[in-house]
């Protein structure tokens, strides 16, 4: 009977140690998951901030470039309204082109970029 109790106590000690190791593993896994989430979140937030700033700067660049282009066309034609209507027509052509290419080219490209950034 004593051998049985000794083996039983040895198993209890062994499983007690195993329980401690599993607890440490779970704590380490939780810490690793928190670190991964923090890293992903900080990368996403910094990307959004840079994208927002770039969008604002690009908007002002585009605004002034198109205004200058309209003014230049208007001075060449001696009619400011005609110059700005030409620039408006260029924008209309770009809008039609974007809608024509959106389903086959633009949307798949954006979707693939987002998916690759998620799994990066």
Walk along the chain (120 residues) and give the pLDDT tens digit of each residue: 444 555 656 666 666 667 777 888 888 999 988 888 888 788 888 888 999 999 999 999 999 999 999 999 999 999 999 999 999 999 999 999 999 988 888 888 888 888 887 776
Tell me 116's DSSP state.
Answer: H
Q: What is the pLDDT of residue 15?
A: 67
Burial profile 76-92: b = 16 or more Cβ within 10 angstroms, e = fewer:
eeeeeeebbebbeeeee
- CA 4 – CA 79 distance, rounded (Å): 106
Q: What is the pLDDT of residue 89?
A: 96
87 within 8 A of 73, measured Cβ to Cβ: yes
Q: What is the pLDDT of residue 2?
A: 46
Residues 6 or more apart whose Cβ sits within 8 Å of residue 66: 87, 91
Q: What is the pLDDT of residue 23?
A: 81
Q: What is the pLDDT of residue 114?
A: 83
- pTM for the structure as a whole: 0.57
Helices (H) and strands (E) counted in the chain, each on its own, are: 3, 0
Burial profile 38-51: b = 16 or more Cβ within 10 angstroms, e = fewer:
eeeeeeeeeeeeee
Q: What is the pLDDT of residue 1?
A: 45
């Amino acid at each position: 009977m004593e051998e049985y109790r000794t083996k039983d106590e040895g198993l209890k000690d062994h499983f007690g140690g195993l329980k401690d190791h599993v607890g440490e593993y779970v704590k380490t896994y939780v810490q690793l998951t928190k670190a991964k989430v923090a890293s992903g979140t900080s990368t996403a937030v910094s990307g959004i901030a840079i994208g927002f700033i770039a969008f604002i700067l690009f908007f002002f660049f585009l605004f002034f470039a198109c205004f200058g282009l309209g003014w230049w066309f208007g001075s060449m034609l001696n009619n400011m309204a005609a110059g700005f209507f030409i620039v408006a027509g260029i924008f209309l052509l770009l809008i039609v082109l974007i809608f024509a290419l959106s389903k086959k080219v633009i949307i798949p490209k954006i979707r693939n970029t987002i998916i690759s950034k998620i799994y990066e």
